[in-house]
Amino acid sequence: QVQLVESGGGLVKPGGSLRLSCAASGFPFSNFYMTWVRQAPGKGLEWVSYISSSSSFTKYADSVKGRFTISRDNAKNSLYLQMNSLRAEDTAVYYCARGGARVAMGYWGQGTLVTVSS
Amino acid sequence: DIQMTQSPSTLSASIGDRVTITCRASQSINDWLVWYQQKPGKAPKLLIYKASSLESGVPSRFSGSGSGTEFTLTINGLQPGDFATYYCQQYDSYYTFGQGTKLEIK
């Protein structure tokens, strides 16, 4: 069965960096777009970024453009989100999901919490 | 950027009721719209894709309709497990979520 497991969240100071990972299993990872979505505490869902199956195409929300970088390693069935210059407003649960562009996100991980605070 | 506006923000209903949630796009998105259900502490669950296609395994009491800029999610015969927050999301141009509708027990 499809499984997506995020890791790498934690407490980081403003201006700091963090790298999130998402381990995928149960499907041909290299065939699918992948996406990061976040949810601030008590708030709604916010799309962060997606990446094409071959990494040739990436898109970012304006709120993270220039600070976050999405990448993937198809040999390791893994998705990543490098987050730099973190701000308090980046505090959220970060979910990885299978899908992107004109493919709905049918599978989601359980999320990993990122807290940006001094 | 495409904006998505859901209404109402909160909806109170009883078991067995029929409820409708509306989602409006700031410009036409054809039928590139999905609906998710989210329960506290859990990841969202895909219910409807392409505005009206039911995701496999989702009960038939859930239905979606609309195209262009106006969309609805209807739940016929509310069950206890349906009380949750519902989000629409467009995927015509990047992704944008609606702000969510919390469905509460009356």
In tens, the pLDDT along A43-98 reads: 999 999 999 999 999 999 999 999 999 999 999 999 999 999 999 999 999 999 99
Mean pLDDT along residues B11-32: 97
* Residue A101: pLDDT over 90: no
pLDDT at B12: 97
B 37-96 near A (Cβ less than 8 A)? 38, 43-46, 49-50, 55, 87, 89, 91-92, 94-96
Mean pLDDT along residues A16-42: 98
Residues 6+ apart with CB under 8 A from B104: B10, B11, B12, B13, B83
CB contact under 8 A, B95 and A62: no
Cβ A94 vs Cβ A36: under 8 Å: yes
Q: Which of B45, B41, B8, B24 has the alpha carbon at shortest distance from B96?
A: B24
The Cβ of residue A7 has, within 10 Å, a number of other Cβ atoms equal to 12
pLDDT at A87: 98
Would you call A58 an interface residue with chain B, using a CB distance cutoff of 8 Å?
no
A 77-96 near B (Cβ less than 8 A)? 95
Mean pLDDT along residues B79-87: 97
Largest CA distance in chain A: 40
Q: CA distances (Å), A53 to each of A23, A29, A96, A104, B80, in order?
A: 15, 8, 14, 14, 39
